[in-house]
């Protein structure tokens, strides 16, 4: 499965699993801090959306790697 061309920004983040997991966890914590009223909702929303995008593309990359190893 080939990723679309608009994901060039996310390729550097999704190719290393520890970076994508860290970004996703940071987005969750930022969303939680927004819910608690510690940071602004705009910053929390942007952070959560960015974290979800990185998590989604990381999942796609890892799933395609898993499918390729399963075929061999």
Q: What are 4-49's pLDDT values in tens digits?
A: 555 555 566 666 677 777 777 888 888 888 888 888 888 888 888 8
pLDDT score for 13: 60
pLDDT value at 72 more than 70: no
Distances (CA, A) of 46 to 1, 17, 55: 28, 21, 14
- Would the pLDDT of 3 be above 70? no
Which region holds residue 37: left if phi is over 0, alpha if psi is between -120 and 50, else beta? left
Q: Which residue has the tokens 């602004």?
A: 40
Global pTM reads 0.62
* Domains in the chain: boundaries: 16-71
* More confident position, 8 or 63: 63
pLDDT at 1: 46
């Amino acid at each position: 499965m080939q990723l679309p061309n608009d994901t060039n920004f996310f390729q550097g983040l999704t190719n290393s699993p520890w970076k994508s997991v860290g970004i996703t966890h940071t987005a969750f914590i930022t969303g939680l801090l927004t819910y608690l009223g510690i940071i602004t909702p705009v910053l929390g929303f942007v952070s959560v959306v960015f974290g979800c995008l990185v998590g989604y593309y990381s999942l796609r990359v890892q799933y395609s790697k898993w499918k390729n190893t399963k075929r061999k």
